Amino acid sequence: MTIRKTATTRVPVHPLLAERWSPRGFDIQHEVGADQLTALLEAARWAPSANNSQPWRFVVTHRGTAEFDHLTDLLAPGNRVWAANAGALILVAAQLVDDNGQPLRFALYDTGQAVAHLITQAQAEGLATHQMGGFDTAGVSDFMGLGTDVTPVVVVAVGQFDDAAELAEPLATRERAPRSRRPLDDLVLPLDASVRQVA
Ligand SMILES: Cc1cc2nc3c(=O)[nH]c(=O)nc-3n(C[C@H](O)[C@H](O)[C@H](O)COP(=O)(O)O)c2cc1C
């Protein structure tokens, strides 16, 4: 048995997008294959970016290593309890300036887009992902030796979804709750309201 949280959409969207969701139940026995992880990183690598600047950076840690344990310790307590069971934790960071020290204005935008590629590839591989912004950014930066030009953005838990994983409340209830989104009409602004009227 698995939990399905298929997105409700006006018209069909690709199943990789409709079926993806962010679980907290991960199978602690499961190891993410090396080729699968490489596929995730390749998908991210080929994301578009402003001026092809590719500001995304990744640090991959595997469950069962000291690095994974240390990164887990730097997660917010509410994330630590379940993310420790994931097969891998990927720190995603963004390079904020180019080689000439000029700010990369779209660095965070581009990095988010690379993560969108990564999690969609994971879905295609049959892997679950759950992004986390709740972590000690200064601690991670220090631990990873990122310096001032590279900022930590998210940690992505990657692994195999486990429907039977034990979760304390309120996470157990959230795990089974349907996904929700604002209606499309809230997001697509009517043209007459968004265009400045010219006399
Ligand atoms: C930048 C970012 C930060 C997030 N931080 C956390 C987090 O710290 N803990 C957590 O449980 N989920 C976190 N999430 C997951 C979101 O809550 C989740 O993606 C959202 O509720 C939509 O659910 P879905 O991914 O299942 O569609 C984060 C997601 C993103 C994109």
Q: Is the pLDDT confidence value at 137 over 80?
A: yes
Q: Is the pLDDT confidence value at 199 over 70?
A: no
Quote the ligand 1 centre to 102 CA distance (angstroms): 31
- Residue 192 has a pLDDT of 76
Residue with CA closest to ligand 1 atom 15: 131
Summarised one tens digit per residue, pLDDT across range 53-93 is 999 999 999 999 999 999 999 999 999 999 999 999 999 99
Quote the ligand 1 centre to 43 CA distance (angstroms): 20
Task: Give the residue-averaged pLDDT of 190-194.
Answer: 76
Percentage, residues of the chain above pLDDT 90 = 94
For the Cβ of 133 lying below 6 angstroms from any atom of ligand 1, the answer is yes
- Residue 198 has a pLDDT of 65
For the Cβ of 43 lying below 6 angstroms from any atom of ligand 1, the answer is no
For the Cβ of 131 lying below 6 angstroms from any atom of ligand 1, the answer is yes
d(CA 121, CA 131): 14
Task: Give the residue-averaged pLDDT of 155-166.
Answer: 97
The ligand 1 atom at the shortest distance from the C-alpha of residue 5 is 26
Q: Is the pLDDT confidence value at 197 over 80?
A: no
Summarised one tens digit per residue, pLDDT across range 1-21 is 689 999 999 999 999 999 999
Task: Give the residue-averaged pLDDT of 125-149.
Answer: 97
Q: Which of 26, 118, 130 to mutate to test the pocket of ligand 1 (most atoms within 8 A of CB)?
A: 130
d(CA 173, CA 44): 32
For the Cβ of 21 lying below 6 angstroms from any atom of ligand 1, the answer is yes
Percentage, residues of the chain above pLDDT 70 = 96
For the Cβ of 22 lying below 6 angstroms from any atom of ligand 1, the answer is yes
Residue with CA closest to ligand 1 atom 27: 21
**In which residue are the tokens 């969701």 written?**
21
Task: Give the residue-averaged pLDDT of 135-158.
Answer: 97
Mean predicted lDDT score pLDDT of the chain: 96
Quote the ligand 1 centre to 23 CA distance (angstroms): 9
Peptide bond just before 152 cis, omega within 30 deg? no
122 vs 1, higher pLDDT: 122
